[in-house]
Amino acid sequence: MTEHNFEHMRRAMVASQLRTTGTNDPRVLAAMGEVPRERFVPAARASLAYADALVPLKPGRDFNSPMALGRLLTEAAPRPGERALVVAAATGYAAAVMARLAGPVVALEEDEELAAEARANLAGSGVRLVEGPLVRGCPDSAPYDLILIDGAVEHVPDALVAQLADGGRLAAGLLENGVTRLAIGRRAGEGFGMAAFADAAAAILPGFAKPRAFKF
């Protein structure tokens, strides 16, 4: 595959996967049309970088689909100057896109191998990479105007909600009964709620299991 091939695939992704499925924010389309996804996947799977599918990175972790990320960013509407946190940075792609839309950007990853790849991929981007448990967020840089969880979770931990600024947004895939729904949430004072806006396949993230109700 040549750089020209990848550029053609990137344009096709924008035209046929993003524009046709509700990603209609011109800034999001431009950012995803500029960041080379092929540099963020394993070399052996570079030809799959623009597929409308999840791409395996390692056991238990997948590269999110373009449509899922595009829809989440469109609903979240990042703005220049907003402080943003990307949870589950993986190899850094979503953070690289976010850096073109908002900033400063913090990218959080708990897997040592993926974090090393993200650090190399994000060099010079201005993104601050932090290693640590995904469910704990990165409180030392809070509050955030926007938190993007780049994948699907059963439960959004209170620790992440607490790191949102008043009026801040959180975008994620919510997994319930095997179905993933993309959702956006907003914090208002001490209140927080999420509303789903689309069904979509998204990379399922480990460690975000919903707390089980106590039973007598």
Work out whether strand 61-63 and strand 55-58 pair parallel, antiparallel, or are unpaired.
Answer: antiparallel
pLDDT tens-digit readout, 69-80: 999 999 999 999
Provide the residue count of the chain. Answer: 216
134 burial (CB, 10 Å; 0-12 / 13-18 / 19+) is buried
Other CB atoms within a 10 A radius of the CB of residue 205 amount to: 25
Residue identified by tokens 């947004």 is 169
Task: Give me 190's structure tokens.
Answer: 């001490």
Q: Of 103, 184, 115, 108, nearest to 140 (Cα)?
A: 108
Q: Would you state the pLDDT for residue 143?
A: 98
Q: Would you state the pLDDT for residue 177?
A: 86
pLDDT tens-digit readout, 109-120: 999 999 999 999
Q: Would you state the pLDDT for residue 211?
A: 77
Q: Decide if 146 contacts 169 (C-beta within 8 A).
A: yes
pLDDT (tens place) for every residue of the chain, 216 residues total: 788 799 999 999 999 999 999 999 999 999 999 999 999 999 999 999 999 999 999 999 999 999 999 999 999 999 999 999 999 999 999 999 999 999 999 999 999 999 999 999 999 999 999 999 999 999 999 999 999 999 999 999 999 999 999 999 999 999 988 899 999 999 999 999 999 999 988 999 999 988 765 555
Q: Of 86, 93, 33, 34, nearest to 62 (Cα)?
A: 93
**What ranges do the domains of the chain cover?**
3-199
Q: Of 125, 123, 128, nearest to 86 (Cα)?
A: 128
Q: Would you state the pLDDT for residue 130?
A: 98
Give the CATH superfamily of 3-199. Vaccinia Virus protein VP39 (3.40.50.150)
Give alpha helix (H) positions in the chain: 3-12, 26-34, 66-76, 93-99, 112-121, 158-161
Q: Decide if 107 contacts 92 (C-beta within 8 A).
A: yes
| b/e map 180-193, b = 16+ CB within 10 Å | bbbbbbebeeeebe
Q: Would you state the pLDDT for residue 158?
A: 96
Q: Of 126, 100, 125, 116, nearest to 26 (Cα)?
A: 100
